[in-house]
Structure 1
Amino acid sequence: MWTGKCSRCIALTLYPLVLISIICNAALFFPGWDVKYAKHGHLTKEVYYMGGAIGGGFMVLIPALYINRTGEQGCCGNRFGMFLSIVFAAAGAAGALYSFIVALLGLGNGPLCKHAGTWTTPFKHSNWTYLTDSESWGECTEPTNVVQFNIGLFGTLMASSCLQVLLCASQIINGLFGCMCGTGNSEKEPYVIG
């Protein structure tokens, strides 16, 4: 059966998405590519939720490592291992969904920036219209280009978490087939009563 090879492909595709999520989350701590805003706490609150590092990062990395093991011969490359991959994939999907929600909130609320001399989120109640109104981005005087910075990074987090959810969902389906039909990792798979 092809389920073992499919698991390996899914895991290998998840690894770069995990890395992208962690890098984007880390970059969000340095708006304008400057450390002073993090030191003084002038960061968007969604950055502190660590959606990319925790949700799209570690909560997807652990399942990806296990899913990769189901594509090999050995302890995880059998029907029971495929059953466990369903549980891990569901946890990964939950982490990716958390990352997506945090990024969605980050885009919806807009960046924390200096506006009219005070630190505020001027686009919080704009109903997303600020995303297409590039002339309004100048309302944020500090950090430099913070609106583009947040849109780019939170947008990337949303895209990578969507792909992670789709891949984890496909592993759930693949795991179901692996439970029923086997992984195809070895010629004779051990039968597990359970």
Structure 2
Amino acid sequence: MLSSPCMMACSRTCSRILGLSLGTSALFAAGANAVLLFPNWDVTYLLRGLIGKHAMLGSGLWGGGLMVLTAATLISMTGWRYSCFSKSAPCRNMLIALLSSGLALLGALVCFITSGVALKDGPFCMFDISSFNQTQAWKYGYPFKDLHSKNYLYDHSLWNSVCLEPSKAVVWHVAFFSALLCMSLLQLLLVLIHLINSFLSLFCSFCEK
């Protein structure tokens, strides 16, 4: 059976790895959300206010990005025992762990829910409403939500036939919101591991004393 000091060292190593992993996932989430603001790398849609509400909400920037990155920094500082964390008492370390976990959990959860809703509603694009009624007109909106189309995620024939502008709007939307969904799911898993690791560290600290 491992001694308590050895377990404590393993716990700190785990915190360093978790901090680095969460920080990396936060940067990827922020990057994915930023790209969603520039469909087909075109800035004019953002300048004209033709970006979907899910991307404009920016949950990948401030939720899965900034909030998780802040939590990751706290976790890493605890693992490396940096500055004021070097002589922190077990209970104080546990408080920091709960604070960082709560922050990361909230950010990742908001990002996860927003990404799921975005994938359900579909992209914001210009479409021809004459496909659904007798009036010849084009407008910007959510064709896969407002007009109660078939589930576009399973019917790939709709991907290039419904949205007229931006080009490949569906592919862009699905690709980056799926990435955000996966990143936030990974973050939730890492937060759970961090909580388990923190409780084990607290238990070992008391055993050592």
- Which TM-score applies when normalising by structure 2? 0.83
Report the 3-state secondary structure (helix = DSSP H, G, I; strand = E; otherwise coil) of the residue aligned with 1:91: helix
Decide which moves more: 50-59 or 83-92. Answer: 83-92
Backbone CA RMSD of aligned residues: 1.9
Report the 3-state secondary structure (helix = DSSP H, G, I; strand = E; otherwise coil) of the residue aligned with 1:119: strand
Q: Equivalents in 2 of 1:64, 1:143: separation in Å? A: 36
The residue correspondences of 1:53-92 to structure 2 (distance < 5 A) are 53-74=61-82, 75-77=84-86, 78=88, 79=90, 80-92=92-104
Decide which moves more: 15-24 or 126-135. Answer: 126-135
Match of 2:152 among 118, 121, 130: 130
- C-alpha displacement at 1:128, in angstroms? 7.3
Q: Which residue of 1 aligns with 2:116?
A: 104
Extract structure 1 runs of 4+ deviating beyond 3 A.
Answer: 125-128
Letter in 2 for 1:49: L
- C-alpha displacement at 1:127, in angstroms? 7.8
Q: Equivalents in 2 of 1:73, 1:159: separation in Å? A: 30
Q: Which residue of 1 aligns with 2:48?
A: 40
Match of 2:140 among 105, 119, 125: 119
Q: Equivalents in 1 of 2:85, 2:158: separation in Å? A: 54
Q: Equivalents in 2 of 1:171, 1:182: separation in Å? A: 16
Decide which moves more: 67-76 or 129-138. Answer: 67-76
Instruction: Mark the runs of 5 or more structure 2 residues left unpaired by the alignment.
Output: 1-6, 129-137
Instruction: Say which one has the larger Rg.
Output: 2
- C-alpha displacement at 1:76, in angstroms? 2.0
- Which TM-score applies when normalising by structure 1? 0.89
Indicate if the aligned counterparts of 2:123 and 2:169 stay in contact, CA closer than 8 A: yes
Letter in 2 for 1:123: F
Q: How high is the sequence identity, in percent, across the aligned residues? A: 34
Q: Which residue of 2 aligns with 1:186?
A: none
Instruction: Mark the runs of 5 or more structure 1 residues left unpaired by the alignment.
Output: 184-188
Q: Which residue of 1 aligns with 2:14?
A: 6
Residue by residue over 1:21-58, the C-alpha shift from the partner in whole angstroms, topping out at 9 and shown as x without a partner, is 01011001011221111111111111111110011001
Indicate if the aligned counterparts of 1:26 and 1:53 stay in contact, CA closer than 8 A: yes
Residue by residue over 1:111-135, the C-alpha shift from the partner in whole angstroms, topping out at 9 and shown as x without a partner, is 1111011111101155871012111
Larger helix proportion of the pair: 2
Q: Equivalents in 2 of 1:128, 1:85: separation in Å? A: 45
Q: Using CA pairs under 8 Å that are at least 6 residues apart, name the structure with larger relative contact order, 1 or 2.
A: 1
Indicate if the aligned counterparts of 2:94 and 2:198 stay in contact, CA closer than 8 A: yes
Q: Equivalents in 2 of 1:14, 1:34: separation in Å? A: 30
Indicate if the aligned counterparts of 2:143 and 2:149 stay in contact, CA closer than 8 A: no
Q: Which residue of 1 aligns with 2:134?
A: none
Decide which moves more: 7-16 or 118-127. Answer: 118-127
Indicate if the aligned counterparts of 1:89 and 1:171 stay in contact, CA closer than 8 A: yes
